Amino acid sequence: MKLDVIKLDAKKAGSIDLSDEIFGLEPRADILHRVVRWQRAAAQAGTHKVKGRSEVSYSTKKIYRQKGTGGARHGDKGAPIFRHGGTYKGPTPRSHAHDLTKKFRALGLKHALSSKAGSGNLVILDGLELKEAKTAFLAKAAKELGWKRVLIIDGAEVNENFARAARNINGIDVLPSMGANVYDILKRDTLVITKAGVAALEARLGKGEQK
């Protein structure tokens, strides 16, 4: 697959050959769904908690005698049947994370990249180098390029001036290549990858995560 490379001023800067094994797959919704579920489950706090019978603030004294009252037999007021009693088998803090193999996660990332390439929402940028961290300049460039909800992926490290300039612009998110993930790619309208980012992703998905 061959795509044009542009600069921040929208001028062309040549072209680049993208690996069909990474950017040319037919996206599968089931694979993307499984990887996104794995990501969101790992990010879920799991801190929800209710008080059990032993934790509510009530006396443990038997409220009335066992027999002879004509009513049901009860112990203390902390029983789940009473108002403000402890909850039976309620939620407790736990991890919602589950396992997913590295190969499958890598496959999911390939399908996410391929989905953006196939829909025409992939842009290859020459680089992110800025002489000064000027938010106004970057905001104007993004507007002229038509970027509204965009994820930008750079190489091993993001240019410091670019990261500072993009920090206060709503709709622009920047990640290094190692931070690239399925959820962040899919939830943005446009995916922008620098040439350094493409090289890093192809090295990562071609060899690194297949071991």
Q: Is the pLDDT assigned to residue 87 strictly greater than 90?
A: yes
Task: Catalogue all structural domains in the chain, each as residue range(s) with its CATH number.
Answer: 2-45+97-210 (3.40.1370.10), 50-90 (no CATH)
Q: At a CB cut-off of 8 Å and minimum separation 6, what does 199 contact?
A: 155
- Per-position b or e across 19-28, b if 16+ CB within 10 A of its CB: eeebbebebe
Q: Is the pLDDT assigned to residue 35 strictly greater than 70?
A: yes
Question: What mean pLDDT is reported for the chain?
Answer: 92
Residues 176 and 151: beta-carbon distance below 8 Å: no
pLDDT computed for residue 211 by the predictor: 35
Q: What is the pLDDT of residues 168-188, one digit of tens each?
A: 899 999 999 999 999 999 999
Q: What is the pTM of this model?
A: 0.82
Q: Is the pLDDT assigned to residue 26 strictly greater than 50?
A: yes
Q: Alpha helix locations (H) across the chain?
A: 20-23, 29-43, 102-118, 135-145, 160-166, 182-186, 195-206
- Percentage of the chain beyond pLDDT 90 is 84
- Per-position b or e across 154-175, b if 16+ CB within 10 A of its CB: bbeebbebbbbbbeebeebbbb
Distance CA 211, CA 206 (A): 10
Per mean pLDDT, which range of 5-9, 93-97, 177-181, 204-208 is the poorest? 204-208
Q: Is the pLDDT assigned to residue 208 strictly greater than 50?
A: no
Q: Give the pLDDT band (50/70/90) at residue 210.
A: very low
Residues 36 and 42: beta-carbon distance below 8 Å: no
Mean pLDDT of the region 80-103:
94
Q: CA-CA distances (angstroms) from residue 17 to 11, 40, 46, 138, 195?
A: 18, 33, 44, 27, 10
Q: What is the pLDDT of residues 126-166, one digit of tens each?
A: 988 888 889 999 999 999 999 999 999 999 899 899 999 99
Radius of gyration, alpha carbons of the chain: 27
